[in-house]
Structure 1
Amino acid sequence: MALLFAEIGVHVSLSDPSEEAMDAVMQKAEKQGYHGKVDKYTDYDSLCKSLSSPRLLVFSLPHGGVGDKVLEGLEPHLSHGDIILDCGNEHFENTERRQDKCKGTGIRYIGCGVSGGYQAARAGPSMCPGGDISTLNEVLPLLKKVAAKDKNEQPCVGAIGKGGAGHYVKMMHNGIEHGMMSAISEAWGIMQKMGMGDEEIGDVLAQWNSEGELRGTFLVSIGADLSHKRDEGRLVISQVLDKVVQDVTGEEGTGVWSNTEAIDLHVSAPTLNVSHAFRLASAFRGDRERAKKTFDGGFPPNELTVSNKKTFIEDLRQATYAACLASYIQGINVIATADRAHEWEIDYSQVWQIWRAGCIIQADYISDEILAPVLKSKPSSEDLNLNFSSRVAKDVMKCFPALRRIVAKSVETNQVVPAISATLEYFKVVSGTDLPTSFYEAELDYFGSHMFDKKDDTDPNVKKPVEGKYHFEWKPATSQKEQYGKNYSL
């Protein structure tokens, strides 16, 4: 990001615990023609003295205690009105805690989610800043220069909302990302079991990315690209081991947080939840090898034979799209629920804009056809649930038969489809009004006296998530003597 700011003419003062890392950036700056635009500093005092007031300090740090330590070291050298722009993947509660801490000293702290990977960090990322609105408006002119631009040359950055809203929206962006990645990976696995080679699969993904509901989907486009990459004559993808470790190693916290938030806020998000569980299980390769032996070879996917390859691949495309759409629906529903709880006053038209380019979940069709009609109107969080959108319903109903066929064929042939199958169940459940949870509720009342509502009750509260009014004495409680009869003894 230092080079990105230097490219637009900003003089950058650079500080990092690793002088070697700073030297590498300095060398790149020289090679790219930014002589004199980037200077390095090994202590906070000289760093802060190099900047004019009000200073703008940009953090690009790992989440957690590192940010607290850096902030503590900087504070004695900062002045009233200075701005810290935290561009790390920080937890929103840490962001809000630091914002509160900085208020007492007059320092302004903005939590800014940044998406797009290291390539976008250099070429222009999607940026998601949240905090004090007047401070956001102060930094936005600069951020608009470095942010990614959509197809209409509009910057993918905007004032998202108060407090930790920026980091929260970025966190849920990553949850959506994981759901989409799982679905696309599952589609890749199915095509492999159809006997398709990686380059043929890459061609299919390129076609998906060029038209239809997956048009302009970044994760599909890079899947098409990586399917053709070779190293020393071999396809690189053929050498990649089947484990995702970023959650377990701790370098990626947003996957855990996004799922925890969905659960804590009581938002149904099974596509996101199961995608995360899939990643977790994949990380423990050694455990999976042991379980495979225990289960006498496990339950590997069978080779998949279909009567009409073209028709089946079209079904697979629609099923993959349905899971990507479900990921968006679930993620945005979590954001809206958190917005109501924290009173961030999120601007959903800006959420729509920042996801139009430069970010991992960029999906042109979803953005143009699904999100634009809902989010551009700046809905309140009270009114926002994408499952109530007629435009969403149109696509779900169109894709549902294909989604069902893909899941059925996958179950029949042992294909690995956690996100795709969870999506099928999700749409069945969220639109269902005769669920087997009646039996679930009855059992809860049986052993726990948890109460239930009755089907013929006309009270409007039965439509809300509130405790029921009725209890039935399914089995009276008994004493130990009554319970054990002849076998009872003191």
Structure 2
Amino acid sequence: MSATSAATTFTPAPASADIGVYGLGVMGANLARNLARHGHAVAVFNRSHQRTERLMARYADEGAFVPASELADFVASLRRPRVAIIMVQAGAGTEAVVEQLRALLEPGDIIVDAGNTFYKDTQRREASLREQGIHFVGMGVSGGEEGALLGPSIMPGGTQESYDRLGPMLESISAHVDGTPCCTHVGPDGAGHFVKMVHNGIEYADMQLIAEAYDLLRHVGGLSVPEIAAVFRSWKDSELDSYLIDVTTEVLERVDPATGAAFVDVIVDAAGQKGTGSWTTQSALELGVAVPAIAEATFARAASSSSAQRRAVREAALDSGAREIGYDTAEERQSFIDAVRQALYGSKIAAYAQGFDEIATASTTYGWDVDLGAMARIWRGGCIIRARFLDDITRAYEAEPALASLLVAPTFATALESVLPAWREVVATAALAGVPAPAFASSLAYLDQLRAERLPAALIQGQRDFFGSHTYHRTDDPTGVYHVLWAEDGRAEEKWD
């Protein structure tokens, strides 16, 4: 159950710790330090005891830590109702720790999974532990190792009773914007992990959109990497101001010390992923929600890593028809730069709208009653997608909590009307130049689908009725269910019960 160090064995402490952290990797150690720095007594334990020793050797003076060499001592050091945060790898590791803790905890105690766990696993664990009277909280934490130490965005699910115990501590260590903590109770069972999953899906889309903007500026606009860095830096003073724009600027400004080349040019162009983008896309399909920007961002990472296929297509020279597009004057080039900025903003609005729609649909499906405005509010600081325009999203949902789509909020509807001409021009230019911009294009198509009076889905439904007797509804009888007798003369139509 635990590993004991020959060097140091910590003496069991009485029940004095406000909260415990199991798992002292970088994220877990930083979260424990954050809690201790804010005046909370923190029990700390790690399966590999050396990490507990290292934490105490380096940071014991930062606050009240209660170290344990044995898991039973870790649990015993927690005051009731006990709270134990798990900071271990999602999957089998989390499952094992949950089982270890449940054997030592009592009704009313709380287990918090702060990893990137799939929300359905959280729902399953919550239901199982509830039978034993133990609260299980799936808690999203965004901000990376720096955020864990200095103030993350925190998305806890679980019961209201568990949040009453946890909330004050979590709010104290979260990021704060305008004096408001970037932490709130999201909803029951898997709600917290679901919202964190969608947060990560939006992050995928945001990063892909920024990367496409970079690619267009470089390969259509003809800008050098330092020039593109300067463009991104200038966008900090626009509606695009965000943490990811800052990160992008820093990456593009970096020069590789070994070669003297732009740092971005020495990185292999194959993007990795840890699964949350895929989960967001798969969950959207299950819920019947369109999230094309998130899906395309996920697929783009997969395509980037498909080295054999990329090489084969390049060697096949399938580039005929792509135009060489250039800009002869500074004015023309600046006009294209501004068009890309507008396209990026429009696509970003669409991507966030898709994410919030997915959260809203899941909330209705599972009875979570998630406050969408509160989600935008707690994402304003600490997390990876923190951005200026999250203030606008917060205000939009505060003004109309049942907003059908973020796209129709007055602020964003006006913005979209303004950027659409440039957005269309950029997507068309990308296609003509043969520069891939799947997230830009799919986000525009998403908007056009929603604004269309009539979609070709009518033809699809006719096809489905022909080969599979899947039936259809008529425009003059939308509640009726009909089927054409295709196998007979194809003229007769039946109304089905």
- Does the CA contact (< 8 Å) of 1:262 and 1:269 recur in 2? yes
**Cα pair 1:452 1:469 within 8 Å, conserved:** yes
CA deviation map 1:327-368 (0-9, x unaligned): 110011111111111001112232122111111111212x22
Instruction: Report whether the alignment pairs 1:435 with 2:455.
Output: yes
Amino acid at match of 2:246: S
- Is 1:182 matched with 2:208? yes
Amino acid at match of 2:180: Q
161-170 vs 388-397, which moves further? 388-397
Contact kept, 8 Å, 2:66 with 2:77, in 1: the verdict is no
Taking structure 1 as reference, are residues 75 and 299 closer, same or farther at Cα in structure 2, changes over 3 Å only? farther
Structure 2 unaligned blocks of 5 or more: 1-30, 491-497
Greater shift after overlay, 231-240 or 327-336?
A: 231-240
- Assess, with a 3 A threshold, how the Cα gap between structure 1 residues 407 and 378 changes in structure 2: closer, same or farther: closer
Change (3 A) 1:117 1:435: same
Letter in 1 for 2:317: D
Asked if residue 469 in structure 1 is aligned to residue 494 in structure 2, the reply is no
**1:415 aligned onto 2:435:** yes
| Equivalent residue letter for 1:68 | E
Residue 58 of structure 1 aligns to a residue whose secondary structure is: strand
Distance of aligned partners of 1:23 and 1:314 in 2 relative to their CA distance in 1, 3 Å threshold = farther
Give the partner amino acid of 2:249: A
1:306 aligned to 2:314? no
Q: 1:452 aligns with which of 448, 472, 487?
A: 472
1:81 is displaced (CA, Å) by 2.3
What is the alpha-carbon distance in structure 1 between the residues aligned to residue 248 and residue 67 of structure 2?
38
Cα distance in 1, alignment partners of residues 311 and 146 from structure 2: 35
Deviation per CA, 1:279-334: give whole Å up to 9, x if none.
111123244223433x2366898764135011111110111111111111001111
Q: What's the offset of the Cα at 1:229?
A: 2.2
Unaligned runs of 5+ in 1: 247-251, 462-467, 479-490
- What amino acid maps onto 2:121 in structure 1? N
Q: Within 1, Cα distance between the matches of 2:170 and 2:240?
A: 29
Whether the 8 Å contact between 1:14 and 1:38 is mirrored in structure 2 is yes
Match of 2:152 in 1: 125
- Following TM superposition, by how much is the alpha carbon of 1:238 offset from its aligned partner in structure 2, in angstroms? 2.0
Which residue is 1:256 aligned to?
A: 278
Task: Give the match's secondary structure for 2:483.
Answer: coil
User: What SS does structure 2 have at the residue aligned with 1:277?
Assistant: helix
Aligned counterpart, 1:17: 47
Q: Which residue of 2 aligns with 1:267?
A: 289
- Call closer, same or farther: CA 1:314–1:171 in 2, change over 3 Å: same
Name the structure 2 match of 1:285: 307
Q: What residue is the counterpart of 2:14 in the other structure?
A: none
Residues 1:265 and 1:316: Cα distance change in structure 2 (over 3 Å): same
1:70-121 CA distances to partner (integer Å, 9 max, x unpaired)? 0111222223322222211111121122222222333221111011122211
1:214 maps to 2:214: no
1:358 aligns with 2:382: yes
Higher relative contact order (CA 8 A, sep 6+): 1
Equivalent position of 1:140 in the other structure: 167
Structure 1 stretch displaced more, 405-414 or 429-438: 429-438
Query: d(CA) in 2 for partners of 1:425 and 1:268?
Result: 11
CA distance in 1, matches of 2:269, 2:489: 52
Among 398, 406, 417, which residue is 2:418 paired with? 398
For the Cα contact (< 8 Å) 1:159–1:350, is it kept in 2?
no
- C-alpha displacement of 1:20: 4.3
2:347 aligned to 323, 335, 360, which one?
Answer: 323
For residues 291 and 429 of structure 1, the distance between their equivalents in structure 2, rounded to whole angstroms, comes to 31
1:230 match: 255
2:182 pairs with 1:161: no
Q: Does 1:338 align with 2:362?
A: yes
Which one of 166, 176, 199 corresponds to residue 149 of structure 1? Answer: 176
Aligned partner letter, 1:107: I
Amino acid in the other structure paired with 1:76? A
| TM alignment of 1:26-37, pairs within 5 A | 26-29=56-59, 33-34=61-62, 37=64
Is the 1:347–1:378 contact (alpha carbons within 8 Å) kept by the matching residues of 2? no
CA distance in 2 between counterparts of 1:149 and 1:268 reads 32
CA contact (8 A) 1:85 1:109 kept: yes
Change (3 A) 1:300 1:327: farther
Once residues 197 and 416 of structure 2 are traced to their aligned partners in structure 1, the CA distance between those partners, rounded to angstroms, is: 25
Please provide the CA RMSD for this pair.
2.4
| 1:51-70 equivalences in 2 (<5 Å) | 51-70=78-97
* Aligned partners of 1:187 and 1:316 also within 8 Å: yes
